[in-house]
Structure 1
Amino acid sequence: MITRETIDKVFETARVEEVIGDFVQLKRAGSNFKGLSPFSDERSPSFMVSPVKQIWKDFSSGKGGSVVTFLMEHEHFTYPEAIRYLANKYNIEIEETEVSQEDKIEANEKESMYLVSEFAKSYFHDTLLNTEEGKAIGLSYFKERGFTNETIAKFGLGYSPESWDAFTKEALAKGYQLEFLEKVGLTITREDGKHFDRFKGRVMFPIQSLSGRNLGFGGRILTNDKKAAKYLNSPESDIYHKSKVLYGIFHAKQAIAKQNNCYLVEGYTDVIQLHHAGVENVVASSGTALTPDQIRLINRLTKNITVLFDGDAAGLRASVRGIDLILEEGMNVKVCTFPDGDDPDSFARKNSYEDLVHYLENNAKDFIQFKASLLMDEAKNDPIKKADLIRDMVVSISKIPDRIKREIYIQETARIMDISEQVLLNTLAQLVQKDISEAGKKLKTEQKAFEVVKNDVQVAREKLDILSNLEISIINILVLYGNLETDFENIYVNFDEEGNEIEVKEKIKCKISERIFLSLQEDEISFTNPLFQEIYNDLIHNYVNNPSFEIVNYMNTLEEEHSSFISNLIMENERYTLAGWLEKKQVFVKEKDSEEVLTNLVTETLISLREYLINKLIVDLMNSFSAEEENSDLEEIKVMINDYNKLKVTLTNKIGRIRSTYL
């Protein structure tokens, strides 16, 4: 297990904005950063990162937490994996205690698959560099393509021996289980029980996630065997979903964010060759048709995509379908084609970095110009084909969410195709209306299903939400202000010399955490939500036992669920501040609070909780009336209800106004 000292050092060193910046394009927003949610499909940024508090919050999905929580949510790391990732990023040496056999057994299935995949990557790379077969066949192939040792190491390129089961034998000898070798698709077992290597006799391209975890492989055969596929990919598994992965994204992410543009190519060697030439903001769809998930992966880093095609006309028309998907995601797309006979790989090999960059910048066309130039020669003398081409261009424009962009592209199409702008606008309106109508039908169907569920639970949920909100408010006050001292008023009953009751008011100064604890303890109030109760108990314990207790450091010690909950509270307050809700919603923000405001906030929240619970007791007592009960019981219940109503009036008088009944 990783030692506590190492974990503390990781938290002290890691910067949440730097780590998340590797996955999401962040822009400064006051003292915070904002970006597009990496957890949902959105076009307006609602993802916030606080460098001061070292936390993040995604308002579109509700997720939030520390830098470790982000890696656990985004990359599906376990807690130790996230710590190791950060330690590696910041060059922190990991100190570990001995792992027990029981801990090894408890490692989950997905982690075992990652471990097998990482071992395979190391094995293939070592085979490439350190065996006669690997050097003679695999290494010579990569060298012929102009790849240096540095490039080969950077992408972890490898070679799988021609032997039927060389890799599988080695993996089993190292203690890796056949079950997981099969699940990640590295080993295939026949019906007779014999197993063999899926990628035998191929050069290997490891496929990595955005964070650098190895997910699968692409393998290229080097012989002229017509029965074997030229390229072979890992099959779908729990860790590899080809429609959600882009080859090269791990090595390209920082360059994409910095250049604010992503070059999209088709093959592994296209990516590697462009990297080798110095153009690093490039990824590939790994031989699959471009998918919305792949586009959204790029969208987290930039709004701009330049698609690179070779000069093959048939391939161009097949690939151009992906342009509409890019437009649907609200992204800007350009297209750059290479001269006949060239692809990104060959063109990069022939030209210097300066010439390559110059060509890419000067030959990238807007998608409208590209579509027109691609199909105009065919449609030039055929009115029907020309009409189809124009309609195809308008269909693409209709996919763009932004109305201003749509109109500009309509004007450009009208100019290029020499056609009335009004005709194009009418066609566009029909297409957009059709899309809206279809979306409306789908929404109505979903709403009907939702209403059935909503009506069944609405009343119970409203009641639960009131109590939950009150409990959350108390935790929120503890998180933001627990260590602050302010004046509170105690009111108690005394008797004068004649025995008459008199109300005595007394001001005392104490910490807010102490006031909340004593108030809830006095009334023996517990939270109904187990998570809230756990967090409340933990906060009170820390405030009592540690005078210098700070929330930011405390969060680093918490498990994921607790850390996420507390960071959500903090970032919600940040959101209110940025959105200008301070005045509109009377949200109290720490920097602007006076002692009097804080006192009122604490007092009002505690009284509101008491009122709610008293109302609930009164309703429960009223519901307990029944014809079978004895008169004495009824009288006793009436007395109790009357007493509770008096107490309720006393509470409402304390805050100077009658509050709404909750039930």
Structure 2
Amino acid sequence: MAGRIRDEDVQTVRSALPIDAVVSDYVQLVSGGGAQLKGVCPFHDEKSASFYVNPSKGVYHCFGCQAGGDTLDFVMKVEHLSFTEAVERLAAQAGITLRYEEGGYTPGRQKGERTRLVEAHKVAAAWFAEQLESPEAEIGRRFLGERGFDAAAAKHFGVGYAPVGWEHLVRFLRGRGFADREILGGGLASQGQRGGLIDRFRGRLVWPIRDITGEVVGFGARRLREDDNGPKYLNTPETAIYKKSHVLYGIDLAKKEIAKSGRAVVVEGYTDVMACHLAGVTTAVATCGTAFGEDHIKIIRRLLMDTSAYRGETVFTFDGDAAGQKAALRAFEDDQKFAARTSIAVSPGGMDPCELRLAEGDAAVRNLVDNPVPLFEFAIRSTVARHRVETAEGRAAALEEAAPIVARIKDRSIQHQYAVQLGGMLGILDEQFVVRRVAQIGRWQREREQTRGAGAPAGRRTEAPAPAPAPARPAAPRLNPRDPAQFVERELLKLALQYPALVTPAFDNFGEDEFPTAPYTAVRRAVAKAGGAAYGAQLPDFTARVREAAPDDGVRGLITELTVEPIRTRRAPDAVYAGEFLVKLRLQAVDSRVAEVRAHLQRLGNRASPEELAAVQGELWALEQYRNSLRTRGAAAL
């Protein structure tokens, strides 16, 4: 049984890697105001950036889907790892040796399954790269050379060679301490007919496939010999660490430039990625044995900061043949999920980037990518080109096939422009006829989608039975950001978590009853349990202590949310701003108490004794004097 990682080592890992550095491997972050950073959430689709990171506090929170936590929480969620695997992964990145309870450190026995599979792939990738220099690999080196790739290029991309034979890699990995179940589970070997393991890749050129953080999670292997009856390209099967719909070849090399330039280039193969990068197009990536799909879009959107406010560009390059055009039209279907501009680049001769580089040089590849055609236009032109538009019948058929494509464009202004352009392509002089036809088809499409969304058959309306009333239960306290009183509570708690030195010592003298909104009361209690703001001002990780003091995940999530939410001031938060909210909260409490005392005084009426009446009136006088002092002297009166 695997041992438990020591608590002090977990804390070392937590503080070793800045959260913004870890998150930036997955999400492009920009300034979110004050000390915060923001980006497109990796956990749900959104049109505006609502994912915030506070680097100084080491936490993140999404105001859209409510995901939040520290660095370990982020890695666990984004990579679907267990706690142990997340700690081991970050420890490996930081160069930290972990110690385990129940017997110390035993690498092969105590590491998580995912960590072991990643290590096996790392070892295999290095071994494949070594084999490329062997005499047997001459056929692989010749293949690369014929496509313009020298030894330096092969090394840069980690290209290797899998020797002919049944179990060369299996024996090597066994010798490095990996169990058969790990070799088989990672897709590095297959079950032989006689029961033993055999290498999955044999006699092939091999490309390591890395995830966005640079970890090798799979391989793609190219057939080299005519007597190889396998497919032209053989990829790693789906495993615990490799999902072909979740990876893009070259993303580890391209991610920074994609984020910096605001452009991603999607090509079709491993050699195309290599050719583009060597030609200076360092934003090129490719899918791995599958069509470009929705999960790939999510990866690129996060790097492009692709929201309604931050528009990037995605350029697809496909072969000019029928299959390439089909792939482009399939990409058009997914284009509506981008906010970015989406274009297609097809070379005049129908060459892919690798062939183009060989034939015409690096500049030709750059020129191809720099002069793409909008994907909408390409889809429409490709459709029209299949018809004889010089005839009335051909024009009518082309209109009926192309109009639904134009109607699917969600941006109405762009849709109108392409409707007019379609009329010009078809030679229809009455362009308003085409515009009206596109609008009509668009309405039909929306009606069908709404009908399907309601679960009713097309053309029929159904009335769903009214649901049975749910049993009554107490309503949970709700946070209302538009409530001015709640805003004061929230802003002051944010200051106490993010800038505790600004609110001390007054904050610690505030009672829980001065935070009347129940969720905020719980946060105030957690701050006190963690030692208070005055103590927190001396600590670099005070927020982590407050989160640990939270009674449950709900309060812990709210603490994280308040830690990453920007302070609502245009200037840098300072003691004056903090003082304003300390006074506002105290005034709210005093006003509330004044109202209570006045109500009590009214209820007493003539029944109260002179002594009791004097006591109540005295309290009311003192409260009003204190309120006046707060209003005139501000924080000095606290």
TM-score clears 0.5: yes
Which of 458, 470, 477 is equivalent to 1:456? 470
Distance 1:271 1:532 in 2: 55
Q: How does 1:233-632 map to 2 (within 5 A)?
A: 233-302=235-304, 303-340=312-349, 342-362=351-371, 364-380=372-388, 381=390, 383-419=392-428, 420-445=430-455, 456=470, 459-460=472-473, 462-463=475-476, 480-481=495-496, 483=500, 511-516=506-511, 536=525, 540-543=529-532, 546=535, 548-550=537-539, 554-555=543-544, 565-572=558-565, 574=567, 591=578, 593-600=580-587
Structure 1 residue 112: Cα displacement: 2.9
Structure 1 residue 564: Cα displacement: 5.3
Is 1:112–2:116 an aligned residue pair? yes
Letter in 1 for 2:230: A
Aligned residue number for residue 628 of structure 1: none
Aligned residue number for residue 632 of structure 2: none
Cα deviations by residue, 1:317-366 (Å, 9 ceiling, x for unpaired): 3542222211343442211112336211111233343343234323x112
Letter in 2 for 1:424: V
Distance 1:36 1:324 in 2: 22
> Could you say what secondary structure the match of 1:139 adopts?
helix
Alignment: residue pair count:
566
Q: Note if contact 1:14-1:86 (Cα within 8 Å) is conserved in structure 2.
A: no
When residues 359 and 513 of structure 1 are mapped into structure 2, their CA distance, relative to the original with a 3 A threshold, is same
Distance 1:157 1:307 in 2: 24
Aligned residue number for residue 600 of structure 2: none
When residues 342 and 384 of structure 1 are mapped into structure 2, their CA distance, relative to the original with a 3 A threshold, is same
Aligned residue number for residue 25 of structure 1: 28
Moved more, 539-548 or 106-115: 539-548
> Could you say what secondary structure the match of 1:596 adopts?
helix
Distance 1:415 1:141 in 2: 47
> Could you say what secondary structure the match of 1:263 adopts?
strand
> Could you say what secondary structure the match of 2:249 adopts?
coil
Q: Note if contact 2:384-2:402 (Cα within 8 Å) is conserved in structure 1.
A: no
Cα deviations by residue, 1:159-200 (Å, 9 ceiling, x for unpaired): 112111111122122221222222222211146422211111
State the TM-score, normalizing by the size of structure 2: 0.74
Q: How does 1:44-193 map to 2 (within 5 A)?
A: 44-50=48-54, 55-76=59-80, 94=96, 97=99, 100=104, 105=109, 107-129=111-133, 131-133=134-136, 135-190=137-192, 192-193=194-195
Structure 1 residue 230: Cα displacement: 0.8
Distance 2:25 2:271 in 1: 24
Distance 1:365 1:403 in 2: 20
Cα deviations by residue, 1:619-645 (Å, 9 ceiling, x for unpaired): xxxxxxxxxxxxxxxxxxxxxxxxxxx
Unmatched 5+ residue regions in structure 1? 487-508, 579-588, 609-649, 657-663
Structure 1 residue 284: Cα displacement: 1.0
When residues 38 and 110 of structure 1 are mapped into structure 2, their CA distance, relative to the original with a 3 A threshold, is same
Structure 1 residue 269: Cα displacement: 0.8
Distance 2:318 2:56 in 1: 44
Distance 1:429 1:30 in 2: 42
Structure 1 residue 570: Cα displacement: 2.5
Structure 1 residue 35: Cα displacement: 3.0
Moved more, 197-206 or 224-233: 224-233
Letter in 2 for 1:555: A
Letter in 2 for 1:322: A
Cα deviations by residue, 1:487-530 (Å, 9 ceiling, x for unpaired): xxxxxxxxxxxxxxxxxxxxxx964335447999xxxx9x999x
Letter in 2 for 1:326: D
Distance 1:239 1:449 in 2: 43
When residues 159 and 484 of structure 1 are mapped into structure 2, their CA distance, relative to the original with a 3 A threshold, is closer
Structure 1 residue 157: Cα displacement: 1.5
Moved more, 181-190 or 548-557: 548-557
When residues 158 and 479 of structure 1 are mapped into structure 2, their CA distance, relative to the original with a 3 A threshold, is same
Structure 1 residue 305: Cα displacement: 1.4
Distance 2:364 2:331 in 1: 28
Letter in 2 for 1:421: E
Distance 1:361 1:257 in 2: 17
Distance 1:176 1:517 in 2: 56
When residues 421 and 43 of structure 1 are mapped into structure 2, their CA distance, relative to the original with a 3 A threshold, is farther
Distance 2:271 2:487 in 1: 54
> Could you say what secondary structure the match of 1:272 adopts?
helix
Distance 1:81 1:110 in 2: 7
Which of 193, 213, 234 is equivalent to 1:232? 234
RMSD of aligned Cα (Å): 4.7
Q: Note if contact 1:24-1:38 (Cα within 8 Å) is conserved in structure 2.
A: yes
Distance 1:126 1:395 in 2: 53
Structure 1 residue 292: Cα displacement: 1.4
Aligned residue number for residue 615 of structure 2: none
Distance 1:431 1:374 in 2: 20
Aligned residue number for residue 490 of structure 1: none
> Could you say what secondary structure the match of 1:300 adopts?
helix
Q: Note if contact 1:37-1:300 (Cα within 8 Å) is conserved in structure 2.
A: yes
Aligned residue number for residue 602 of structure 2: none
Cα deviations by residue, 1:196-229 (Å, 9 ceiling, x for unpaired): 1111111111112122222211111100136311
Letter in 2 for 1:261: R
Letter in 1 for 2:250: G
When residues 110 and 266 of structure 1 are mapped into structure 2, their CA distance, relative to the original with a 3 A threshold, is same
Aligned residue number for residue 619 of structure 1: none
When residues 425 and 549 of structure 1 are mapped into structure 2, their CA distance, relative to the original with a 3 A threshold, is farther
Distance 2:189 2:229 in 1: 20
Q: Note if contact 1:6-1:95 (Cα within 8 Å) is conserved in structure 2.
A: no
When residues 314 and 83 of structure 1 are mapped into structure 2, their CA distance, relative to the original with a 3 A threshold, is closer
> Could you say what secondary structure the match of 2:220 adopts?
strand
Letter in 2 for 1:513: D
When residues 132 and 569 of structure 1 are mapped into structure 2, their CA distance, relative to the original with a 3 A threshold, is same
Letter in 2 for 1:336: A
When residues 269 and 209 of structure 1 are mapped into structure 2, their CA distance, relative to the original with a 3 A threshold, is same
Structure 1 residue 398: Cα displacement: 3.0
Aligned residue number for residue 47 of structure 2: 43
Using the aligned pairs only, state the percent identity: 25
